Structure 1
Amino acid sequence: MEAPSFAYSASSSSLLSLRKTPLSSPRLSCFGNTKHRNFSVRASSSGDSVVTLLDYGAGNVRSVRNAIRFLGFEIKDVQTPQDILNASRLVFPGVGAFAAAMEVLSKTGMDEALCSYIEKDRPFLGICLGLQLLFESSEENGPVKGLGLIPGTVGRFDSSNGFRVPHIGWNALQITKDSGILDDVGNHHVYFVHSYRAMPSDDNSEWISSKCDYGDKFIASIRRGNVHAVQFHPEKSGDVGLSILRRFLNPKSNMTKKPGEVKASKLAKRVIACLDVRANDKGDLVVTKGDQYDVREHTNENEVRNLGKPVDLAGQYYKDGADEVSFLNITGFRDFPLGDLPMLQVLRYTSENVFVPLTVGGGIRDFTDSTGRYYSSLEVASEYFRSGADKISIGSDAVYAAEEYLRTGVKTGKTSLEQISRVYGNQAVVVSIDPRRVYVKDPNDVQLKTVRVSNLGPNGEEYAWYQCTVNGGREGRPIGAYELAKAVEELGAGEILLNCIDCDGQGKGFDVDLIKLISDAVSIPVIASSGAGAPAHFSEVFNKTNASAALAAGIFHRKEVPIQSVKEHLLKEGIEVRI
């Protein structure tokens, strides 16, 4: 297979340097030397079914495209600043870092076109960074000037009050005025993923249509006339998010509030479905599951355990109420990550009909192919973002990076974790930790962090440390889960997926000792994984630890415990979840 062709400039801070032109989707090929600033507005020749999309080349915009098409609308990509002014309705899904986005907009003249379009009260919807860029400035890698349409500065969440940053998950809205596109949405959760936010003030109060409470009340959406922008991601907020997009694209549409629903009040605990994907012996991609990572059936044929097709299962879990879907490619990428077209296709097809966050992991790293062509982990991750991933999960490569960082105390900026976090934001980077228990009689026997365990070791040991592994749990490393978690947070991880080899596939519950240790040690969200066998295991981990989410695989695949049963149990236990 021919290797993908990347355009790469000397400026790593610029999103222009990451622009690629895949055959499957149009990109902004003109973004580079546009200098024309004398704009003239003419009536749009596009019909009512056409939406103009400003995709400046960063992050997962495929999901916005898919949501718009799912709702029956066509998309016209912005190629020149004039396209902005000619739009009948404009959607700006900002993904990435504030400074890099402003660099692209200013270099291409899109900034002036955007300001002119919005000041004329034309139909506009900004999403996430598309809201933040409307403000005067941001503290992210700054201060950096914004478009200056709304008074105020975008600042980072304060994690000193115990709230985890990034703010990731399904949270409630407090509607402050007639928001048009947000009618009845205050009763539901919507999906946020961000580290920076704009704060309400007297100067910008006339713009605010809703707020969200996370440590303090920040601006969740704005509206003035036909101009809307939201900090959350409607394209990742399920049916509720689709209704918001539908209202903007077709203001005459309405969403009927469903009776008997629980009113959203705060950040919900997330229930995540995980799909371990690998090729079987026939070469077909299947969802599998193992005990301590052994994914083969104990039969004469010794075949790979096949629990279904990835796209079909992901679609079913979305319908069942999963808050996120995580794909872990457990055999791909090893020789040629970007050659794994089937997995890319899984993401593309899944994102067409699944409107909750998608995470993909498995071998995302720097590599050199058989021809000697070098690919950076950033290039690899970029292709997965463009194929529909919202978050990238890094495993073994993060362990090696943490070991080197702890040895030298130096952040090189060259690790996959640092590169991807710098360009796409730390909220886009998950580190998957795969530890196993090592029992000790005395905490002083090792120089690594130990815990007093609930269940004694085989020789009556009361303490254990958690040894991190690489290569799918096959190789132990001289670093503990506690030390690794602290290091990757400093290197730029935005979330931790915490597995436990000892509990994997056992169905006896999560390793609460481990999860409490890590979730107390870091200020980023922690996802509990490995061991779920009953709904009560989810409430236990949420009640006894600071985990933000809990993930399961086998019990969902084998239909032993439906996702809805988990959520109904959590509600009965007084734990807020998305319904």
Structure 2
Amino acid sequence: MESSALTSPQFTTAATPLRFRTPPLKLHRNTVTFKSPAKYSVRTSAASGNDSAVTLFDYGAGNVQTPEDILNAKRLIFPGVGAFAAMMDVINQNGMADALRTYIEKDRPFLGICLGLQLLFESSEENGPVKGLGLIPGVVGRFDSSNGCRVPHIGWNALQTKKDSVILDDVANRHVYFVHSYRAVPSKENEEWVSSTCNYGIDFISSIRRGNVHAVQFHPEKSGDVGLSILRKFLLPNSSKTKKPFEGKATKLAKRVIACLDVRTNDNGDLVVTKGDQYDVREQTKENEVRNLGKPVELAGQYYLDGADEVSFLNITGFRDFPLGDLPMLQILKYTSENVFVPLTVGGGIRDFTDANGRHYTSLEVASEYFRSGADKISIGSDAVYAAEEYIKTGIKTGKSSLEQISRVYGNQAVVVSIDPRRQYLTSPYEIGFKSVKVTNPGPNGEEYAWYQCTVNGGREGRPIGAYELAKAVEELGAGEILLNCIDCDGQGKGFDIDLIKLISDAVSIPVIASSGAGTVGHFSEVFSQTNASAALAAGIFHRKEVPIQAVKDHLLKEGIEVRM
């Protein structure tokens, strides 16, 4: 995994009904509320002697407890997003490592998630080698991007079950959600532990099971109904037995279909979902009101039910003067995360700023508030452009930019850079010092070439940097994913800018999300078959119900393109 800010661990035993946000899943009297992959909260009350009580090892919460909290747990969940070395430092310093080993060696009910799986191995190459808990033979290594795999491994990949795993009994060959850069590889020495594998360039361990001890590399809390089923089976192992396990048809990493909600304040002060035409979100009427396409929480919930693989919020109001005053947007994230069990991304106004009282807030503090409210990834736009320009000019990574700060703490898989370029036509590829392409459709004066000029401030200001140069720079600065827009195509419904998407997706080794211009189901298959885009995003055609998400996925399946169903 990537780096994460870790403090002392906190243990909480839940003795109120156990819920995975909504719909509420009441398990006797115990309740856990899962937040984002990096954060978990537990409703607390006095511990009970109930064997189904759940102890959640929340290592980043800050309240020091004792190793006895682990040893006395009836059922222990160890979630994890962060750096292997930092996590081992925390649990070693607080005496938790030995307690964890003892708990697991006694075959007590245990579920590790993501880093919670990796720490069980002997060591990791991440900032290392670093010794792990040493319970499972093997070394955790980084994915190799030289074989064409994009790192981080982000998205919905297929599980191949290897043995009876109890919690995976009815999810064979189904897609689950992964987001990580490091993995453990199956071997003869650890084969007794491996309950499922996944392929991403190589076969890696996606879950382990021995007795009552389980751990998964993927995020069940972000894997939709499949993930909720896995959590139910761990928490209530005898509550539901599937007579005939459902065999899915997933075989590999799926292409993602993302629903984007542009959110802004309308003239009445309400947050609404809108959609622009080349970034203009006002109706072309006498009133010139903000285009209102619905309520954000309701639409996000519907898109989750419709099969969206991710939901992205772009706050185009941005609260540029006081991002942490954006209480309505924070509430939208909280309410959405209670109903939507796929990854949530939010962008808009994430930067350093000073409020009216002179108090300075870092971009990391702003992003942290969004993460605490339920976001899984944050999207940075203008601030990333400025950081890239400075980096290209000096060749120095200062570590002070928003992009660097947030990726260092939360990991590059949590940071998306949104690129907003305009096409600038050229008569010759040597006309300008930025990377250009030969365009499929000539310009207005027959120009055969173009470069893509990046913009800031919602497309209102052009900058002296190209999309190609920006993409390469932000990858080096720590971006884990690129959201690639095209102002020329926005709202036109004529298809994605294939020339642009091919240029950028061929240039970087991190995932690229194609955006702007989708109008038909055919546009999705076109971008996936002609470029290396990992995902495709749309907004207006989903909001106006012109093209349902399920219709997109049905079409992609018919075209032989793997998607999550």
Q: Same fold (TM over 0.5)?
A: yes
Corresponding letter in the other structure for 1:280: N
Distance in 2 separating the partners of 1:578 and 1:542: 15
- In 2, the alpha carbon distance for the partners of 1:76 and 1:196 equals 27
CA distance in 2, matches of 1:461, 1:212: 47
CA distance in 2, matches of 1:576, 1:52: 36
Q: Which residue is 2:120 aligned to?
A: 134
CA contact (8 A) 1:280 1:303 kept: yes
Partner of 1:428: 414
Within 5 Å, give how 1:537-548 maps onto structure 2: 537-548=523-534
Structure 2 counterparts to residues 431-510 of structure 1, below 5 A: 431-510=417-496
Contact conserved, 2:123 with 2:129, CA < 8 A, in 1? Answer: yes
Q: 1:82, CA displacement in angstroms?
A: 2.1
Residues 52 and 91 of structure 1 are in contact (CA less than 8 Å); yes or no, is this contact kept in structure 2? Answer: no
Distance 1:558 1:314 in 2: 14
Quick one: structure 1 residues 364 and 481, their matched pair in 2 at CA, closer, same or farther if it must change by over 3 Å?
same
Q: Does 1:163 align with 2:112?
A: no
Q: 1:83 Cα shift?
A: 1.9
Residue among 224, 233, 236 paired with 1:238: 224
Partner residue in 2 for 1:35: none
Query: How big is the shift at 1:123?
Result: 0.5
Structure 1 residues 553, 63: closer, same or farther in 2, change over 3 A? farther
Instruction: Return the match for 1:61 from 36, 39, 58.
Output: 39
* 1:317 aligned counterpart, secondary structure: helix
CA distance in 1, matches of 2:93, 2:202: 35
Contact 2:142 2:181 in 1 (8 A): yes
User: Is 2:142 the partner of 1:152?
Assistant: no
* Mapping for residues 505-524 of structure 1, pairs under 5 Å: 505-524=491-510
Equivalences for residues 105-124 of structure 1 within 5 A: 105-124=91-110
Task: Report how far residue 61 of structure 1 moved.
Answer: 2.2
CA distance in 1, matches of 2:302, 2:94: 42
- Measure, in 2, the Cα distance between the counterparts of 1:141 and 1:487: 22
Tell me the residue number matched to 1:15.
Answer: 5
TM-score using structure 2 length: 0.91
Partner of 1:305: 291
1:253 corresponds to which residue?
A: 239
The alpha carbon displacement at 1:368 in A equals: 1.3
Please state whether the residue corresponding to 2:192 is helix, strand or coil: helix
- Name which of structure 1's ranges 494-503 and 105-114 shifts more when overlaid on structure 2: 105-114
Deviation at 1:106, TM superposition (A): 2.0
Query: Is the Cα contact below 8 Å between 2:159 and 2:196 reproduced in 1?
Result: yes
Moved more, 372-381 or 453-462: 372-381
Aligned partner of 1:107: which letter? Answer: Q
Instruction: Check 1:176–1:258 CA distance in 2 against 1; reply closer, same or farther (3 A cut).
Output: closer
Which residue of 1 is the match for residue 341 of structure 2?
355
1:468 aligned counterpart, secondary structure? strand
What do the CA deviations read for 1:506-544 (whole angstroms, capped 9, x no partner)? 000000000000000001100000000000000000000
Contact 2:403–2:478 (CA<8 Å) still a contact in 1?
A: yes
User: Secondary structure, in 3 states, of the residue corresponding to 2:459?
Assistant: coil
Counterpart of 1:275 in structure 2: which amino acid? L
> What's the CA shift for 1:343?
0.7
Correspondence for 2:214? 228
2-structure distance, mates of 1:259, 1:96: 34
Aligned residues of 2:313 and 2:345 also touching (Cα < 8 A): yes
- The more displaced of 213-222 and 88-97 is 88-97
What displacement does 1:49 show? 3.9
Partner of 2:352: 366
Q: Is the 8 A contact 1:15 1:58 kept in 2?
A: no
| Equivalent position of 1:550 in the other structure | 536
- Report the Cα offset of residue 29 of structure 1: 9.8
Label 1:542 to 1:132 Cα distance change in 2 as closer, same or farther (>3 A). same
1:400 alignment counterpart: 386
- TM-score, normalization: structure 1? 0.89
Question: What residue identity is the alignment partner of 2:38?
Answer: N
Distance in 2, matches of 1:531 and 1:485, equals 20
3-state SS of the aligned residue for 1:484?
helix
CA distance in 2, matches of 1:467, 1:64: 47
Stretches of structure 2 that go unaligned for 5 or more consecutive residues are 18-26, 44-51, 58-64
Aligned partners of 1:169, 1:211: CA distance in 2, in Å? 15
**Equivalent position amino acid for 1:205 in 2:** E
The answer to whether the 8 A contact 2:434-2:469 is kept is: yes
Aligned position for 1:8: none
1:276 is aligned to: 262
**CA distance change for structure 1 residues 257 and 479 in 2, over 3 Å: closer, same or farther?**
farther
Partners of 1:138 and 1:53 lie apart in 2 by 30
**1:328: which partner in 2?**
314
Deviation at 1:142, TM superposition (A): 1.7
The change in CA–CA distance for 1:424 and 1:106 in structure 2 (over 3 A counts) is same
Contact 2:14–2:55 under 8 Å retained in 1: no
Q: Indicate if the aligned counterparts of 1:212 and 1:220 stay in contact, CA closer than 8 A.
A: yes
Report the Cα distance in structure 1 between the residues aligned to 2:92 and 2:28, rounded to whole angstroms.
29
How many percent of aligned residue pairs carry the same amino acid?
Answer: 80
Change (3 A) 1:465 1:572: same
Work out the CA distance in 1 between the residues paired with 2:252 and 2:515: 23
Q: Is 1:571 aligned to residue 546 of structure 2?
A: no
Contact between 1:64 and 1:235, CA under 8 Å: does it hold in 2?
no
